[in-house]
Amino acid sequence: MQTDALVLLGTGTLLVFMGIASISLSKNLVKTIMSFQVVLFGANLALFASGLGTVNRLTTDVFVLLSLALGAAVEGVGLAIILAVYRKYGTLDPSKVRRLKG
Amino acid sequence: MDPSELQALLFSGALIGTVSFALFTPKVSSSLIALFYASVILAVIFTLYGDTLVGLVQMATFAGAISVLTLSVILMTGESRLALGVRKLGGVALVALLLFIAVVFSLMVGGGSASPSSYPDISSQVLVFLWTNRPWDPLILIVAFASAMVTISNLMSREP
């Protein structure tokens, strides 16, 4: 694998871990969705970089395309759920939304 | 150092910087602006490494649709306190200028073409590959998108 592909792969991995850390630390549902977006960026970048300079490049690029589209749909639904939660509970703090807590 | 490696380091640093700012700044509106720039930088990376189609989709969905949707959500929930004064607009313009300089530098490194010579543009091959080898994937995506749109409109229109 070439050096620039390795740099992009490392960047993607770093973004995934930063996003996961931010999801676990976040106390705002909008910030949680933004962190999810960062995880998605990192995963797509790592997938794209893993195909650079290899014979499987077309396959990885197609999967990046599909991942982008599915991630956008998931994120749109997440934002709509956040809006519904805010209307029902009046807060965006996930620790105060206790209806589903066992 | 190889110009291609320098280009990868430049854009990776810009991406990590904007994402770090987006994740660790307390204001949601600043996070949104930084994430918008991160989407643009990622789209530029995809385009420079030979996949214009993926870059275009990234730019249209994340820098376009998702950013507007997130902006509407943070405005509706009152989380924004969006005060775009002259100082903040200056910061936004500075980041845009730096991004423009990075793109121009990369175009010069690539010898005037949109992608470095070692990574040819394969967008048309991606489309042909998708339609000939994985024809069910676009159908699945259309169904997923339609379901997502129905869910979004249902959740947004429901009375409390």
Q: Quick one: pLDDT band at residue B114, thresholds 50, 70, 90?
A: very low
Beta strand spans in chain B (E): none
pLDDT for res B131 = 82
Assess whether B61 and B96 both reside in one domain: yes
- Interface A-B, measured as beta-carbon pairs within 8 A, has a size of 165
Mutate to test the interface with A, among B25, B30, B155, B157 (most CBs of A within 10 A): B155
State the nearest Cα–Cα gap between A101 and chain B, in angstroms.
21
pLDDT, one tens digit per residue, over A12-37 is 999 999 999 999 988 889 999 999 99
pLDDT for res A23 = 92
Tokens of B15: 């991406």
Chain B environment of A80 (Cβ under 8 Å): 151-152, 155-156
Whether B42 and A44 lie within 8 Å, measured CB to CB? yes
Q: Residue B160 pLDDT more than 60?
A: no
Record the pTM.
0.83
What are the angstrom distances between the C-alpha of A76 and each of A36, A39, A98, B23, B70? 12, 15, 23, 19, 9
Q: Quick one: pLDDT band at residue B69, thresholds 50, 70, 90?
A: confident
Q: What is the ipTM of this complex?
A: 0.90
3-class SS letters over A33-68: HHHHHHHHHHHHHHHHHHHCCCCCHHHHHHHHHHHH
Assess whether B109 and B159 both reside in one domain: no
In sequence order, the 6+-apart residues with CB closer than 8 A to the CB of B114 are B47, B48, B52, B107, B121
Q: Quote the Cα angle for B3-B4-B9, to 5°.
A: 95
Assess whether B104 and B131 both reside in one domain: no
Assess whether B110 and B139 both reside in one domain: no
Whether B19 and A53 lie within 8 Å, measured CB to CB? no
Mean pLDDT of chain A: 88
Q: Residue A55 pLDDT more than 70?
A: yes
Assess whether B86 and B44 both reside in one domain: yes
Q: What is the mean pLDDT of residues A74-93?
A: 88
Chain A environment of B9 (Cβ under 8 Å): 7
pLDDT for res B100 = 74
Q: What is the mean pLDDT of residues B5-22?
A: 87
Residue with tokens 């259309």: B142
Chain A environment of B76 (Cβ under 8 Å): 83, 86
Candidates A41, A58, A87; nearest CB to B125:
A58
Q: Quick one: pLDDT band at residue A99, thresholds 50, 70, 90?
A: low
pLDDT for res A67 = 92
Whether B20 and A30 lie within 8 Å, measured CB to CB? no
Whether A3 and B148 lie within 8 Å, measured CB to CB? no
Cα(A75)–Cα(A78) distance, integer angstroms: 5
Domain around B147? 122-160
Structural domain count of chain B? 2
State the nearest Cα–Cα gap between B90 and chain A, in angstroms.
24
pLDDT for res A9 = 92
Walk me through the domains of chain A, giving residue ranges and CATH numbers.
Answer: 3-96 (1.10.287.3510)
More confident residue, B45 or A102: B45
More confident residue, B92 or A2: A2
Q: Classify burial at A90, counting beta carbons within 10 Å of its beta carbon; exposed 0-12, middle 13-18, buried 19 or more.
A: exposed
Assess whether B93 and B152 both reside in one domain: no
Q: What is the mean pLDDT of residues B7-23?
A: 88
Q: Quick one: pLDDT band at residue B128, thresholds 50, 70, 90?
A: confident
Assess whether B69 and B101 both reside in one domain: yes
Q: What is the mean pLDDT of residues B112-141?
A: 74
Per the CB < 8 A criterion, the answer to whether B15 and A9 are in contact is no
Chain B environment of A83 (Cβ under 8 Å): 73, 76-77, 155-156
Mean pLDDT of chain B: 79
